[in-house]
Structure 1
Amino acid sequence: MAREQFQNLTEPMYYILMSLLKEMCGVDIMEAVIEISKGRVKVGPGTLYALLSKFEKEDMIIETEVKGRKRSYIITDKGKEILLEEYRRLITMANDGVLYMERYKENFKI
């Protein structure tokens, strides 16, 4: 069931999981998402903590440390597998687009 739910990750999901290849807390995750996406994707606290909760429930991440209200997380092997599958899916889609769109480039202002 978890695989179906996370078959296609949203951008925030993808960037959050990517940021957790290294252990970090919530504030650091939000900053990492901005950095990795070059400012294109921003995740607010509500979205972040809702997704972290889902990821933790599905064993995609684990909580590594709690200091007061500060909680740190890292991706699990299961989370890495899902992240890698999404990475490969996105690469395949981009490659398909390059091949197909090149044939019809006169229809686009690329």
Structure 2
Amino acid sequence: MPVAMLLDTPEGSQDMYEALTTKIFGSLQPDVLPDGLIAHIAGPRDEGGWRVVDIWESTDAFWQFFDAKLLPAARELGQDPTEARPTFFAVHNMIGLGMPA
């Protein structure tokens, strides 16, 4: 069953997000998604900072991506993604993306 991942970074910014995304994928719109990623949404929080909402095939798929790609890239940029802890919840339904089998 897919899971949603919510990550709020109160100190995050669009510049930080774009630098990290470009570092990992080479662009803000990669041609190939990481294994297990179904959808990715990011934007500013009303109260400041940055928010990311992903849909993953499983929490394991997220943590594999985190350990293999996100953490090393963030550290190279002087960012520490371990300061913000993601929360997960089971996905019951997705409208617009289609529910994976």
More strand by share: 2
Higher relative contact order (CA 8 A, sep 6+): 2
Q: Does TM, scored on the shorter chain, surpass 0.5?
A: no
TM-score, normalisation: structure 1: 0.28
Which has more radius of gyration? 1
| TM-score for the superposition, normalised by structure 2 | 0.30
